Amino acid sequence: MLITAHRGLSSVAPENTLIAIQKAIELGAKSVEIDVQISRDGVPVVIHDFTVNRCTNGRGLVQDIDYQDLARLDAGLWFSDEYENEHIPTLAAVLALIKKHGIALNIELKIQNEVHILALCEQVIAVIEASKVTTGQLVFSSFQHQALLLLKRLKPSIRRSQLWEKIPDNALKMLEDIYAFSINCDYRFLKKEQAIKIKQAGYQIHCYTINDPALIEPLRPLHVDNIITDWPQRF
């Protein structure tokens, strides 16, 4: 089983910041997950929530704020004084780090407004191409099937993972439609029969967000491939 550091080493450092990713790498993580959105002026940035309220000292929707204003916000203080002066990273900065260390990156696309799907996908691809990161290091994931369909068309060489909480009845059809590499699902809802079908059809199974190592034992017989965790240091 591969272990993926969820939002970087988010149990130790503020989620989705460069320091959180650096700490995951120092710990020896071979794979990191981040969440990506675009700023008002179209810059792909790394942040989970649709607002900056929880993880920065600012207020408002990410999609309504220009990058230069997002970049001024402190994204570390909410977590601890030790992390003052951490900022919302660009996807470009994260890719530079990933490239330097040769680890895998799961880029989760967060889409608040469907109007932004095309812009988000195009900008993310442009940044990836400029970064010269090997596409084999990357996987796109999203809860939005439409985004994955679009990514398949725009950049087929980067693998795609469909995110679900509960796996739907038409899962195999959806996976076929995006030529999926894997599913990312909530471990609490994964059923044995579903896991068998998904694996038999040739897809990997990645489970989020597992923070207690004891919880992976029931997943071993299901041949789960990847555990996404805030606490990779426990595994």
The residues assigned a catalytic role are: 6, 48
Q: Using the minimum distance from each CB to Mg ion, give the nearer residue, 200 or 226.
A: 226
Does residue 7 come out as left (phi exceeding 0), alpha (psi in the -120 to 50 range) or beta? Answer: left
In sequence order, the β-bridge partners of residue 228 are: 4
Q: Which does 79 bind (CB under 5 to 8 A by kind): ligand G3P, Mg ion, none?
A: none
Question: Which residues lie closer than 8 Å to 95 by C-beta, 6 or more apart?
Answer: 105, 127, 128, 131, 133
Please name the residue that has the structure tokens 């579903």. 194
- The SS3 assignment for 128 reads helix
In sequence order, the β-bridge partners of residue 164 are: 185
The answer to whether 228 contacts ligand G3P (rule: CB under 6 A) is: yes
Interface region with Mg ion, contact rule CB under 5 A, candidates 9-17, 105-113, 119-127, 182-190: 105-113
The answer to whether 208 contacts ligand G3P (rule: CB under 6 A) is: yes
Minimum CB separation of residue 81 from ligand G3P in Å reads 25
Minimum CB separation of residue 117 from Mg ion in Å reads 17
The residue whose Cβ lies closest to ligand G3P is 208
Binding-residue total with Mg ion (CB under 5 A)? 2
Q: Using the minimum distance from each CB to Mg ion, give the nearer residue, 53 or 170.
A: 53
Best CA proximity match to 89, nearest among 22, 185, 159: 22
Question: Which residues lie closer than 8 Å to 139 by C-beta, 6 or more apart?
Answer: 104, 105, 106, 107, 158, 159, 160, 161, 181, 182
The answer to whether 230 contacts ligand G3P (rule: CB under 6 A) is: no
Among 4, 39, 91, 108, binds Mg ion (CB under 5 A): 108
The answer to whether 160 contacts ligand G3P (rule: CB under 6 A) is: no
Binding-site ranges for Mg ion (CB under 5 A): 35, 108
